[in-house]
Amino acid sequence: MVSRGNGSRLSRFVHSFKYASQGFCYLIRNEQNFLFHLIAGVFVLTAAVLLGFSTIKLTILLTVIGVMLSLEAINTGIERSIDLITEEEHPIAKTAKDVSAAAVFLFAIVSVIIGILLFFEPITHLIQS
């Protein structure tokens, strides 16, 4: 593992973007749920713009999408860390993985509810016109 504590503050700051982009690329290449949520987020944002969402509604939507993607990333980090610590199936390791996956699942449900609340009225108006 490369030491990330060397160099000037500016150098460490610049490198932090490099490491973050490597993590983002890993998620896109290796995590199908992250990729699904990313594609769904782009689709939903496109639909929101086409439906003329207000700045407030777009802000809510972007926040929900950002939190969803962040939770997927954190879940992956937790799972990979546990895999590094133990290769055997341990009940506590399983619980940690299951609970982090449950956090993603719970927010996915909340995201769908928020999406319905945000899109219901504009879609209803579109259908009626």
Kindly state the percentage of the chain with pLDDT values over 90: 84
Marked catalytic residue, from 38, 72, 76, 104 = 72
CA distance 123 to 129: 10
pLDDT tens digits, residue range 48-89? 999 999 999 999 999 999 999 999 999 999 999 999 998 888
- Tell me, yes or no, whether 13 lies in a domain: yes
89 is in an annotated binding site: yes
**Do residues 100 and 74 lie in contact, with contact meaning Cβ atoms separated by under 8 Å?**
yes
Kindly state the percentage of the chain with pLDDT values over 70: 95
121 is in an annotated binding site: no
On whether the pTM is more than 0.85, the answer is: yes
Q: Which domain holds residue 50?
A: 9-128
- Tell me, yes or no, whether 1 lies in a domain: no
CA distance 97 to 26: 19
User: What pLDDT does residue 2 have?
Assistant: 52
pLDDT tens digits, residue range 13-26? 999 999 999 999 99
Q: How wide is the angle at C-alpha 66 spanned by C-alphas 46 and 32, nearest 5°?
A: 80
90 is in an annotated binding site: yes
Nearest to 77 by CA among 19, 126, 125: 19
**Do residues 39 and 28 lie in contact, with contact meaning Cβ atoms separated by under 8 Å?**
no
Q: Is the pLDDT of residue 3 over 70?
A: no
CATH of the domain at 55: 1.10.287.3610
Total domains, the chain? 1
121 an active-site residue? no
The pLDDT of 4-17, averaged and rounded, is: 83
Longest dimension (CA), the chain: 62
